Amino acid sequence: MAELFKAITVAQAREMIGRNLNLQPPVKRVSITEALGKRVAGDITAEEDVPGFDRSTMDGFAVMARDTFGAMESLPAYLDVDGEIFMGKEASLAIVGGRTWRVPTGGMLPPGADAVVMVEHTEELDGRTIGVTRPVAPGENIVRRGEDVSTGSVVLARGHSIRPQDMGFLAAAGVHSLEVEEPLRVTIISTGDEVVPPERSPGPGQVRDVNSYTLYGMAGQCGAYPVIAGIIKDDFQTLKEAMEKALTGSDMVLLSGGSSVGTRDVSSRVIESLGRPGVLFHGISIKPGKPTIGAVVDGKPVFGLPGHPVSAMVVFALLVEPLLKTGRYPQNEREKRLEFPLPAKINRNVRSAAGREDFLRVELKMEQGVMVAEPVLGKSGLIGTMVRAEGLARIPIEKEGVEAGEYVLVRPF
């Protein structure tokens, strides 16, 4: 069993979980319209070129560009018009030097044409001949066959989350159904003898359950399928039974409360009893969120999140969210950078401790064209501070604080 409160870094925590993880989301074939926000289960390869033919991007005249070289207002290049290409129809007759075809925006180019002259840059002479008043370069005002997608190329790679533009791209490539990962099922359990459901009036010493709802919301935002299992008594046997049931029916279990060192804190012992490898760490060098339990049981992650509502949300953002969104933790500098993407100037001094990463709730405002982060002060038990905040600012592990005017990196929410 992991040593109690021998705190490790976030990076080490991620590494330990990642190494033991075996998330296996179910896979389902869906239509394009059902795929929004889902992750692609395997590489999707284009079976045809898009567009399937060379097309004009302007209303005008299909030409061999070289026939227009040197053309100008005072000395147009004269071309005979062989006819008109209609929208959605094949252009089968090849273009002949010195001649042209009228073509609409999106129309097919005749074989041999390598550019289109916009109608504005031509003058009609006798209905059969035009004068080109500006030259075009090869490739101008056209898109080539396969320029959007070429046959055999990977349209979307495995693991990619489908966005609206991806849906259009799939349609263009003729991929009308695809295999996607089903949302991961996350069971959320709250512990604590003092915690009551929101519909109950708390008695003396009692508080309403906050964490089940913040965690439910955060999991939903990640595209997961959260289930609230309710409030379970701080009792070994009762909690063990609830956790076993949760593990059987889901891909991940989040338990909040009971992660600290109180005599009644049974979470760690219960998680350890569920299976192998069990508890990997108990304590991370962050504030808030230090008393976090990280475990993996038969490939499924199990987190014991701190009871304080802000702490639970911060730990979710750092350890749970990447797994629900991508099935893994950020691997390269770009992915890590995108977790806290927004630079902002902090507007007051904040102390931290070297060897500990701090996460500040901040409000964001623009002052003289600069993004400014104003810390929202308050203990990590106060959910209202999170409601006022618009982001989390990070003070890196090696720093002993930040001074007013320094830049911090923020994750807006």
Structure tokens at 298: 């038969």
Least spacing, CB of residue 290 vs ligand LQZAQKY5, in Å: 5
- CA dist., res. 100 & res. 95, Å (int): 7
User: Judged by CB under 6 A, which stretch of 50-58, 156-164, 286-294, 389-397 contacts ligand MOO?
Assistant: 286-294
Residue 128 CA, distance from chain mean position: 56
Q: Which does 283 bind (CB under 5 to 8 A by kind): ligand LQZAQKY5, ligand MOO, none?
A: none
Distance between terminal CA atoms of the chain? 35
Return the residue of 60, 288, 301, 309 that touches ligand MOO, per CB under 6 A.
288
Other Cβ atoms closer than 10 A to 366: 9
Q: Which does 375 bind (CB under 5 to 8 A by kind): ligand LQZAQKY5, ligand MOO, none?
A: none
Cα four-point dihedral sign 205, 208, 209, 214: negative
Q: DSSP character for 111? A: T
Least spacing, CB of residue 308 vs ligand MOO, in Å: 4
Judged by beta carbon, residue 60 or residue 291, the one nearer ligand MOO is 291
Q: Which does 195 bind (CB under 5 to 8 A by kind): ligand LQZAQKY5, ligand MOO, none?
A: ligand LQZAQKY5
Do 41 and 158 contact (CB within 8 A), yes or no? yes
CB-based closest residue to ligand LQZAQKY5: 307
Do 214 and 313 contact (CB within 8 A), yes or no? yes
Contact flag: residue 308 with ligand MOO (CB under 6 A): yes
User: Judged by CB under 6 A, which stretch of 101-109, 282-290, 342-350, 367-375 contacts ligand MOO?
Assistant: 282-290
Contact flag: residue 290 with ligand MOO (CB under 6 A): yes
- CA dist., res. 180 & res. 42, Å (int): 8
Return the residue of 122, 190, 267, 311 that touches ligand MOO, per CB under 6 A.
311
Phi, psi (5° rounding) for residue 225? -115, 90
Contact flag: residue 100 with ligand MOO (CB under 6 A): no
Least spacing, CB of residue 407 vs ligand MOO, in Å: 24
Judged by beta carbon, residue 183 or residue 289, the one nearer ligand MOO is 289
Number of residues near ligand MOO (by CB under 6 A): 9
Site string for ligand MOO, 379-408 (x = CB under 6 A): -x----------------------------
Q: DSSP character for 32? A: G
Of 218, 232, 173, 191, nearest to 322 by C-alpha is 218
- Non-local CB neighbours of 298 within 8 Å, separated by 6+ positions: 22, 247, 275, 276
Judged by beta carbon, residue 39 or residue 308, the one nearer ligand MOO is 308
Contact flag: residue 306 with ligand MOO (CB under 6 A): yes
Residue 224 CA, distance from chain mean position: 13
Cα four-point dihedral sign 62, 66, 69, 74: negative
Q: DSSP character for 3? A: P
Contact flag: residue 361 with ligand MOO (CB under 6 A): no
Judged by beta carbon, residue 122 or residue 380, the one nearer ligand MOO is 380
Structure tokens at 36: 């929004």
Contact flag: residue 287 with ligand MOO (CB under 6 A): yes
Q: How wide is the angle at C-alpha 16 spanned by C-alphas 260 and 239, nearest 5°? A: 40
Structure tokens at 345: 């100037």
Q: How wide is the angle at C-alpha 409 spanned by C-alphas 403 and 413, nearest 5°? A: 120
Least spacing, CB of residue 23 vs ligand MOO, in Å: 26
| Residues lying near ligand LQZAQKY5 in the complex (CB under 6 A) | 190, 192, 194-195, 207, 209-212, 256-262, 265, 288, 290-291, 306-309, 311, 380-381
CA distance to 182, 201, 291, 314, 393, per residue, from 322 (Å): 16, 36, 20, 13, 18
Judged by beta carbon, residue 29 or residue 200, the one nearer ligand LQZAQKY5 is 200
Structure tokens at 255: 């338990």
Q: Which does 100 bind (CB under 5 to 8 A by kind): ligand LQZAQKY5, ligand MOO, none?
A: none
Task: Give residue 192's identity as a one-letter amino acid code.
Answer: G
Q: Which does 307 bind (CB under 5 to 8 A by kind): ligand MOO, ligand LQZAQKY5, none?
A: ligand LQZAQKY5
Least spacing, CB of residue 259 vs ligand MOO, in Å: 9
Contact flag: residue 102 with ligand MOO (CB under 6 A): no
Q: Which positions touch ligand MOO (CB under 6 A)?
A: 287-291, 306, 308, 311, 380
